[in-house]
Structure 1
Amino acid sequence: MTDTRLLLLSPDDNVFVLRGAIDAGETVALEAGQATVPVRLGLGHKIARRAIAAGEKIVKYGAPIGSATQAIPAGAHVHLHNVKSDYTPTYALEATSEEVPR
């Protein structure tokens, strides 16, 4: 049984969305076992539902939102450090509000 703190938005997704914060060191139940969360993750962050291969599409809401830049183990944080957006250049995601034109 999957941890109730994880939300699966679509059966086609390979990520779960956190319903709330999970502290570093906590264990979450995934469909295929358990994983320990190494760092505190906040509401809305994503973790891998299963192992995701480098280059594989990240699927959320049943639609691809990016590509894995490295292998991502089940239960690992899925974010800018291991995903390349297929839609927004990475430099735009890293820009501060002062750098963004108004």
Structure 2
Amino acid sequence: MKHSVLMHEPEDDVSVAVVDLKAGTEARAVTLEGRYIDTVKVTEDIPLGHKVAMRDISEGEEVIKYGRPIGRATKSIAKGSHVHVHNIKSMRW
């Protein structure tokens, strides 16, 4: 199976889709160096460039990408779900 999501750091909560993902797809996550991290079953369609939850994230919890917080979950996010403005508030604004 070729990778379909990229994780910047192995401890990140989210990965980035490098192709359009369809619900039910098994997405293989690798680091920038190509090291395998995990596989996650995508629960909804996720467009290229959007984030995928690599673990369950609780409402109010910080969301980690690039090894640091990028936002806070505005509702609970299940592993394999689309992570975007509908369920995360940026920490930059």
Task: Give the letter for the 2:41 counterpart.
Answer: A
Alignment partner, residue 27 of structure 1 = 25
Q: Deviations over 1:16-67 (max 9, x none)?
A: 11111113x3422463x6424323x222100100101111111111111100
In structure 2, stretches of 5+ residues that fail to align are 29-37
| TM-score, normalisation: structure 1 | 0.71
Alignment partner, residue 33 of structure 2 = none
Which of the two has greater helix per residue? 1
Q: Is 2:56 the counterpart of 1:51? A: yes
Aligned residues: 84
Structure-2 separation of matches of 1:11 and 1:34: 14
Which of the two has greater strand per residue? 2
Return closer, same or farther for 1:48/1:19 CA change in 2, 3 Å cut-off: same
Taking only aligned residues, the RMSD between alpha carbons, in angstroms, comes to: 2.1
Secondary structure at the counterpart of residue 59 of structure 1: strand
Structure-2 separation of matches of 1:3 and 1:50: 21
Structure-2 separation of matches of 1:75 and 1:36: 4
In structure 1, stretches of 5+ residues that fail to align are 89-102
Secondary structure at the counterpart of residue 20 of structure 1: coil
Return closer, same or farther for 1:65/1:3 CA change in 2, 3 Å cut-off: farther
Tell me: higher relative CO, structure 1 or 2? Use CA pairs within 8 A at least 6 residues apart.
2
Structure-2 separation of matches of 1:87 and 1:79: 14
Q: 1:7·1:18 contact (CA, 8 Å) conserved in 2?
A: yes
